[in-house]
């Protein structure tokens, strides 16, 4: 009983602490009319972001015993209130999980739970959320290295990468051509919520 009470208190404290860093959580959907990736959810699995396939979550039994596990099957995200342009995973795990761009290839990845380890040249910032006039959604974009004048901005979905048939790996356009057939697309917010979708993503 004491363990359950302590776990519940810990889960509540973590949720409160996480809320200090984010305004809200949001799902993301890919938009490219007439393509196989149009209106598809963006999911997290294997420390990469994908279009197609499911979301990979984990929650320890001690947290589940205190009803601290979200028990969802989707991925959501949040923007960091204190670090402008930084994108976070919608995770409740202590320390959170951060999205970064692998500077060697442009792949969108995220940190492991309980660890902030990432490559020294990882790109963390220049994420923007903008709301088109008259729209009920926002568009997530990576603002690029050197800005649009160099053409190095935006997102790509590439097939033929690891992850299985029909699954598209997501890359930032950093001026390096990713493997496979790539499509430029928009990422738009869909479901808005006040809580993360996972304890942690794996």
Give residue 85's pLDDT band: very low, low, confident or very high (50, 70, 90). Answer: confident
Per DSSP, what are the bridge partners of residue 31? Answer: 186
C-alpha distance from residue 143 to each of 3, 5, 116, 139, 154 (Å)? 46, 45, 23, 12, 7
Task: Round the average pLDDT of the chain to a whole number and report it.
Answer: 85
pLDDT (tens digit per residue) in 41-65:
999 999 999 998 899 999 999 999 9
Q: In the structure encoding, which two tokens stand for residue 184, read together? A: 């430029």
pTM of the complete model: 0.85
* Residue that wins the pLDDT comparison between 166 and 30: 30
Per DSSP, what are the bridge partners of residue 159? Answer: 181
Predicted confidence at residue 165, as pLDDT, reads 65
Predicted confidence at residue 7, as pLDDT, reads 41
pLDDT (tens digit per residue) in 89-101:
999 999 999 999 9
Percent of the chain at pLDDT > 70 equals: 82
pLDDT (tens digit per residue) in 119-143:
999 999 899 999 999 999 999 999 8
Place of tokens 């995973």: 89
Per DSSP, what are the bridge partners of residue 91? Answer: 198
Average pLDDT (108-127) is 93
What is Dmax (Cα atoms) for the chain?
A: 61
Predicted confidence at residue 84, as pLDDT, reads 74
Q: What are the boundaries of each domain within the chain? A: 2-201
Place of tokens 């050197």: 146
Predicted confidence at residue 163, as pLDDT, reads 57
Average pLDDT (153-168) is 80
2-201 under CATH 2.30.230, yes or no: no
DSSP 84-105: TT-EEESB-STT--BEEE-TTT
From the list 156, 153, 159, 161, the residue with the least C-alpha distance to 184 is 156
Alpha-carbon torsion, ordered 38, 43, 47, 48, to 10 deg: 0
Taking a C-beta distance cutoff of 8 angstroms, is the pair 65, 73 a contact?
no
Percent of the chain at pLDDT > 90 equals: 67
What is the rounded CA–CA span in Å between residue 97 and residue 78? 10
Predicted confidence at residue 179, as pLDDT, reads 86
């Amino acid at each position: 009983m004491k363990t359950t009470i302590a776990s519940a208190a810990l889960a509540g404290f973590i949720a409160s602490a996480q809320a200090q860093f984010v305004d809200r959580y949001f799902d993301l959907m890919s938009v490219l009319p007439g393509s196989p990736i149009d209106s598809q959810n963006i999911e997290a699995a294997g420390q990469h972001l994908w279009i197609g396939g499911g979301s990979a979550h984990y929650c320890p039994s001690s947290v589940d015993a205190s009803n601290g596990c979200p028990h969802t099957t989707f991925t959501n995200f949040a923007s960091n209130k204190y670090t402008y342009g930084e994108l976070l995973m919608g995770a409740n795990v202590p320390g959170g999980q951060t999205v970064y761009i692998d500077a060697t290839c442009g792949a969108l990845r995220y940190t492991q739970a309980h660890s902030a380890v990432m490559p020294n040249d990882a790109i963390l910032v220049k994420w923007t959320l903008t709301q088109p006039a008259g729209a009920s959604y926002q568009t997530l974009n990576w603002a690029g290295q050197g800005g649009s004048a160099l053409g190095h901005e935006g997102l790509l979905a590439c097939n033929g990468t690891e992850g299985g048939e029909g699954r598209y790996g997501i890359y930032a356009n950093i001026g390096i051509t990713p493997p496979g057939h790539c499509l430029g697309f928009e990422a738009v917010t869909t479901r808005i919520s006040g809580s993360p979708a996972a304890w942690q993503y794996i």
